Amino acid sequence: MRSRQRMLAAAMRLLLKCLRLGRRRRFKLVRQAGQLWHYGRLCLRSLLYNSFTNGDVVLDSLFEPVYWLVDHVTRWFGVVFVALVIGLTSSIVAIVYICLLPLILQTYTPAWICWHLAYGHWNLIMIVFHYYKAITTSPGHPPQAKNDLTGVSICRKCIAPKPARTHHCSICNRCVLKMDHHCPWLNNCVGHYNHRYFFSFCLFMTMGCIYCSISGWDMFRDAYAAIERMKLLEKERLQVAANQTYYQTPPPTFTFRQRAFHKSVVYLWVLCSSVALALGALTLWHAALITRGETSIERHINKKERQRLQKKGKVFRNPYSYGSWDNWKVFLGVDVPRHWLTRVLLPSPHLPHGTGLSWELPPCMTKQRTPLLAI
């Protein structure tokens, strides 16, 4: 009896010892897992720690694949966009010469004929010249040698000197002097040497589209009414033909040439009006930037700088702005009064002021300005 009790007590002690060892081992495993978790979390935070990280940086990182896709698609589709601009513009010019010009010569007075011929051809020449120069002129790139420039920053992507107002284009994969933006309709960057060509093309294309829309309004209404009348007569003709034999079907009321003429006039007016609205808004936007002496990129930079200095009780001053009127003179390259005719109203391949590497006072400026960012 006693031996049985001893065996039972020994078994109980062995069971308690096993349970105690199992609990210790379990607690040890839990403690080791917790230590590994905290250690991994510390390593991850140490690798990803950045005092400048905020919500904007996280969003930029998440959208980086989208930016990469857009950059590469824009680079390859630039040729398609240029061909589309040339094709649409050529179609409008062809319609004007084939359909509208003979009608103008037959119905308008000699004074109106001279006006349309002079203004239309001048506007067309300005559009073709500035678009050709905008797509073929390099916007300007800084030199790659580090000893050529002093007092400039270094581009983090090119690892090359980056002068003032220079920015890196992810599509061209190069730094561009006085970069405004990359335009897919030009398949080129808009920068220091072709900014004037780009804006002049937008301006004269808008003027041309407005001219076509206004002068072709009466023709558009007549053509639209004729097309509606054609649809109605075609429906009536089909109803009559359904009750007759094949040989008794009446001939078409309108010829193919008449149909093509009316549809071409409607196409011309709709396309010109749409382009005038869209491109006109873009032209006004760039005109406002030029008036302030800014580019599209500098607008965002100056806005943040203005807000930052405003909190400190300071006033931001753009060092590249010489006043509204003088900004236009510098942008257009007008040094003397006759340049308004030879360089603005007529095609001119003159270069802009400066090299884009440094920004001295232009020769057309008569008074000095203090290039301060804040006072």
Which of 99, 169, 175, 183 is catalytic? The answer is: 183
Q: Which residues 6+ apart lie within 8 Å of 74 measured at CB?
A: 171, 182, 184
Contacts made by residues 96-100, CB under 8 angstroms, sequence distance 24+:
96/120, 96/212, 96/268, 98/264, 99/261, 99/264, 99/265, 100/216, 100/219, 100/265, 100/268
CA nearest to 215, candidates 345, 101, 98: 101
Which residue is it, tokens 């190069």? 174
From residue 289, how far is each of 78, 130, 296, 324, 350 by CA, in Å?
Answer: 25, 20, 7, 10, 22
Instruction: Return the number of other C-beta atoms located less than 10 Å from residue 272's C-beta.
Output: 23
Q: Tell me the one-letter amino acid at 75.
A: R
Q: Tell me the one-letter amino acid at 281.
A: A
Asked if 183 is an active-site residue, the reply is yes
How big is the chain, counted in residues?
375
Q: Which residues are catalytic?
A: 183
